[in-house]
Amino acid sequence: MEPVIVFVSLFFAIFAIAYLHYSTRNKERLALIEKGADASIFFNKDQKTAPVWKIFLLNLSLLLIGVGVGIFLASFMHYQLNLERSVAYPGTIFLLSGIGLFIGFHLSKKLD
């Protein structure tokens, strides 16, 4: 019964986020139309951004580097510093993968 609740709540959360996104976007555009403003700010074709695949590959590579370095540091902490395995591995892997994604975010801003 518990897995069913998890999947239903996950589906509901995804549906709620999508619904809020589209309804808010619609309300913003209707407000612009009522004021007589031009809605071309949503369709700016002159702005050149980096391709999505470059940003995806940059973030994926930094994530995998963070996971690899996290596993290496966790094994060092487990064997050399006698830290518990159940603490060392998840902690360092999540910490360094988060740092990798944070660096990827800032590097992808420079690509634009």
Q: How many Cα atoms are found within 13 Å in the side-chain-facing hemisphere of 52?
A: 0
Amino acid at residue number 14: I
Residues 2 and 53 in one domain: no
Residues whose CB falls within 8 Å of the CB of residue 66, separated by 6 or more in sequence, listed in order: 93, 96, 97, 98, 99, 100, 101
Q: What is the pTM of this model?
A: 0.58
Residues present in the chain in total: 112
pLDDT at 74 over 90: yes
Clarify whether residues 58 and 41 are in a common domain: no
Model pLDDT for residues 15-25, shown as the tens digit of each residue? 999 999 989 98
Domain of 74? 48-112
| pLDDT confidence tier of residue 42, bands split at 50, 70 and 90 | low
Single residue among 47, 65, 81 that ends a domain in this structure: 47
Residues 26 and 11 in one domain: yes
Domain count, the chain: 2
* Domain match, 27 and 75 both: no
Could you give the angle at which helices 85-111 and 52-79 cross, rounded to 10 degrees?
150
Helix ranges, 36-84 (H): 52-79
